[in-house]
Amino acid sequence: MTQTQFLILWLTSFAFILVCRVLPALALRGRPLSPRVTEALGYIPPAAFAALVANDLLSPTMFDTGVWPGLMPIVAAGIVVLVAWRTRSMLWCCVSGVVAYVLLSLI
C-alpha cells in the first residue's frame, strides 16, 4: 500500500467516524431523549460485552486440538456465571475465572 493510498484510506475512515459519531451527538445536543430511546441505549454496553465474550468462547477452530481444550473456556465461563449469580461481585468473578481456567488447564 502506497503512502497516498494509506492517506486516502485514513481520511475516509476519519470522515466516516466523524459523521457516524460526532454528527448525531451535535444534532441531539440539548434535546431530551424519550424514555424508550434511553432504555434502548442502555442495552448497548451489555450487548457489546456479550459479543466480545462470545467471540472469545466460541470459534470455528475451538475443537481442532481436541474436545477438552475447546470446552475448557466454556466450563470456566460457566463457573464464573455461577459465582456471579451467588456473589454479584466483579472481583470474585475475575478471581474465580482465572482460578477456574488455571485449574482446568491442569487437568
Q: How many CB atoms sit inside 10 A of residue 53's CB?
A: 13
Contact 100, 80 (CB under 8 A): yes
| Domain ranges across the chain | 50-106
Nearest to 69 by CA among 100, 94, 104: 104
Burial class (CB within 10 angstroms; exposed 0-12, middle 13-18, buried 19+) of 100: buried
Task: Say which range, 63-67, 74-78, 82-86, has the weakest mean pLDDT.
Answer: 63-67
* pLDDT mean over 60-69: 88
**What is the structure's pLDDT at 56?**
84
What's this model's pTM, rounded to 2 decimal places?
0.60
Q: What confidence tens digit (pLDDT) does each residue in 15-50 have?
A: 999 999 888 888 888 889 899 999 999 999 999 999
Cβ density class 63-87: b for 16+ within 10 Å, e for less: eeeeeeebebbeebbebbeebeeee
